[in-house]
Structure formats: C-alpha cells, structure tokens
Structure 1
Amino acid sequence: MVVDDHPVVRDGVALLLRSDPSLTVVGSAESGHTALSRVLELRPDLILLDLRLPDMLAPEVVGELRKLQPAARIVVFTAHGDHQGVLAALDSGAHGCLLKDVAGTDLVAALRRVLRGERVVDPRILPDDGQRSDALARSGLTRREYEVLRLAAQGQTNPEIAESTGLARNTVKTYLQSALHKLGARNRVEAIGKASEAGLL
C-alpha cells in the first residue's frame, strides 16, 4: 500500500513496481487517516509511507498501523533526509526509510530486502562516522549508552535491544535513562531527535 498525498508519487510507485511481478500495489491512501481506515481492508504486507502527510505525523501513523496490521512492514518514503522525523518514525516501529529520488531498480531491491526481514535505511540519511565520533566525545555519552540509543533509534524495543546486545533488560533501561539525562531529553523520541541534531545518529 502506498500512502502519499501526491497522486504523481502514488502512480509513479505503482508504475515502478510493475517491473517486478512479485510486488503488487494493492491500494493507496492520500492521508494518515485514510491509510488507517484502509489497512484492515487491504491487509498489505508492506506499506510505503510518506514522511510528511497533511493530517498526521509519520511516527503517529506508524504506531497506529503497527497496532492495526502488526505483520506489515513499514518503509518511510521521503524527499528530505530529515533526521529527526525519520528517526522518530523508526523509533515508532518503521522498518526502513528511503529517499524519493531512489532509482526504480533500487526501490524494488530495497522493498524486497525489507520483506525478507531486513531494516533498510538510505545511507544519505545518516551522517558519516568521523562526525559521529567527534559528536559522541562532546555529548558525554559512553559507548554503551550510545549503542543502546542507536538501537532504540532503529525502532528496537528494550527487550529487543537486550537480546541484540546481550545486556539485561534493566541494564538497557538504565543506559537509556542515563542517555536521556545527558541529552536533556524527556523521552526516547526527544533523545533521538537531540542526538540526531548533534550528529550522533
């Protein structure tokens, strides 16, 4: 399902995906509310979601779509490599983010990877490692706090972070709270926004 307020994007994606018989556009929506009302009827395996919709913020739409259709993979599709919005959407449970200038063959390949269970984020959305290590030194975050925050930014829950790092769940929670405190943030979405502004993510 393609969710975008521009008809040219909805039609363009449908045309691009015609080159791959294994991918079929089952429907589209021009707003967040329409997407939420149509997802139960269409039951898509994958949702391509515009970051900037006229009626709802993408992180909000992602959270609601995950509740209604937990099995669907959600990929944010944006013209802007806007760190904060993208990271907030990933934190809400999106499985990837692609820029709208992606080539047709790359789009098909990326969507197939997401359907196989991979997380796909366009490398242009994330700053390079050199900038990141300087920013990390300035932030006062430890490597572990940064690692836990980075996994949270990729949309992992505390239990998933615990599993992928081998840490206890309470330890993950402690590292996250410590990172929030150092960044002056009230919650994980705000922490991810501040960390991305500082060039950490």
Structure 2
Amino acid sequence: MDDHPVVHDGVAAQLHGYPDLTMVGHAETGTDAIPLCAREQPDVVLLDLRLPDRLAADVVPAIHRVSPGSRVLIFTAFPEHAAVGPTLAAGAGGVLVKDANSTAVRDAIRSVARTGAFRSVLPDPSNAPVTAREYDVLRLVATGHTNPEIAEELDLSVNTVKSYLRDMMSKLAARNRAQLIANARTHGLL
C-alpha cells in the first residue's frame, strides 16, 4: 500500500521475476487498503509508513481485523521515523527500506510470510525528532483527543501526557497544540 505510483510499479517489476510471489492489489490510502485486504486476504501487505490519510499504526490493526492471516511489512524510506516503533507495536512484522534491491524485497516478503517477522538493521531511534511514546501522544493529539482521553487510551497519568506534550513542543518549537500539529507535519511526523 503506497500512494506513489512509481513505488508500486517498481515493486511490481521487482516481484515479476519470482513465480511464488504475486501482487494481488494496490491501494493508495489506508482507507482503501482495508477493504482490499478484506477482499483479497493477502499473505503479506507491504504498507507505507507515511500514508496520505491515516497513520500506519492505525491501519495495521484494521488490516488484522479484516484479514487475520495477513502479515504486514512496513515499507518506508524513513526507517528512523518515530512512527516505526508504534507501527511495529501495533502488529507489523518488520521494516523494509524502500531502497532495497529485488533480492532483499523478495527475501523480506518470504520471511514475513513464513515466520511473521522480518528483522533488519534499523538506524538508531534516538535520531528521531520525538520518541516512540511521544509519537503515540502526538498522533492522538492530531486526532483531537484531550489530555484525559490520551491518558486513558495510553494508560498514562494526565501529568505524564502534559509532560510529553511539553517536551514535544520544545523539540518541535511549538507554542500550542495547533502549532505542534503543524510543525509535526512539517517534520513529516504526521
């Protein structure tokens, strides 16, 4: 699932030479991916980390609800992105970097189909602009949740949520929630 046609076409071309791998569909948005997965029941879903309409961390559980046998492999040009951790925690089986050659793509898909997991060496997450837990808070802020709602959803205290927000506002040079969301989008976090 990727919103860039050149990526879709490139993956399709790479997989064409492997008769045991068949592309059964393509969706440009997370919203479109869910009914496609329900209909096709794919063994493996290559899911872009940065979808135009939804966060990958929210799409993974939705895919698993409609297609329980599908294994999800994150496909991204940004393996150090703060969303990687939450998306793996949501049930993705691994991360494949978009500059992988056809052999690496093939091996990653086969691995996740066979074992449910694909392990690759990822960049140090300390280079990300926000931590994985801050990202969890950020994505809930971006969807309009209040501090008490975020605290309940993430099993945190309201004061801890406030602390995460304060730290993110400092890191992303924001004075309020609206500016935090805007600056997070500028940094490619949302």
Tell me the TM-score normalised to structure 1 length. Answer: 0.61
| SS at structure 2 position matched to 1:121 | coil
In structure 1, C-alpha distance between the alignment counterparts of 2:60 and 2:116, rounded to whole Å: 17
In structure 2, C-alpha distance between the alignment counterparts of 1:125 and 1:74, rounded to whole Å: 20
**Does the C-alpha gap of structure 1 residues 91 and 69 become closer, same or farther in structure 2, counting only changes over 3 Å?**
same
Runs of 4 or more off by more than 3 Å in structure 1?
125-128
Q: Percent identity?
A: 41
Q: Which residue of 2 aligns with 1:57?
A: 55
In structure 2, C-alpha distance between the alignment counterparts of 1:118 and 1:63, rounded to whole Å: 15
In structure 2, C-alpha distance between the alignment counterparts of 1:118 and 1:38, rounded to whole Å: 20
**Aligned pair partner of 1:87 in 85, 88, 99:** 85
**Aligned pair partner of 1:78 in 64, 76, 79:** 76
Q: Which residue of 1 aligns with 2:94?
A: 96
**Aligned pair partner of 2:110 in 105, 109, 112:** 112
Task: Give the 5 Å matches for 1:139-154.
Answer: none
What is the deviation of 1:125? 3.3
Q: Does the 8 Å CA contact 1:83/1:125 hold for their aligned counterparts?
A: no
The structure whose RCO (Cα within 8 Å, separation 6+) is larger is: 1
Q: Which residue of 2 aligns with 1:37?
A: 35
Q: Does the 8 Å CA contact 2:38/2:63 hold for their aligned counterparts?
A: no
Stretches of structure 1 that go unaligned for 5 or more consecutive residues are 129-176, 195-201
| SS at structure 2 position matched to 1:120 | coil
Q: Which residue of 2 aligns with 1:172?
A: none
In structure 2, C-alpha distance between the alignment counterparts of 1:56 and 1:82, rounded to whole Å: 19
Task: Give the 5 Å matches for 1:122-161.
Answer: 122-126=120-124
Tell me how large the CA RMSD over aligned residues is.
2.7
Q: Which residue of 2 aligns with 1:11?
A: 9
Q: Does the 8 Å CA contact 1:83/1:126 hold for their aligned counterparts?
A: no
- Measured against aligned partners, the alpha-carbon deviations of 1:112-164 in whole angstroms (never above 9, x if no partner) come to 11111142133033469xxxxxxxxxxxxxxxxxxxxxxxxxxxxxxxxxxxx
Tell me the TM-score normalised to structure 2 length. Answer: 0.65
What is the deviation of 1:11? 0.9
Q: Which residue of 2 aligns with 1:144?
A: none
**Aligned pair partner of 2:64 in 23, 41, 66:** 66
Size of the aligned set, in residue pairs, is 137
What is the deviation of 1:5? 0.3
| SS at structure 2 position matched to 1:28 | coil
In structure 2, C-alpha distance between the alignment counterparts of 1:55 and 1:121, rounded to whole Å: 27
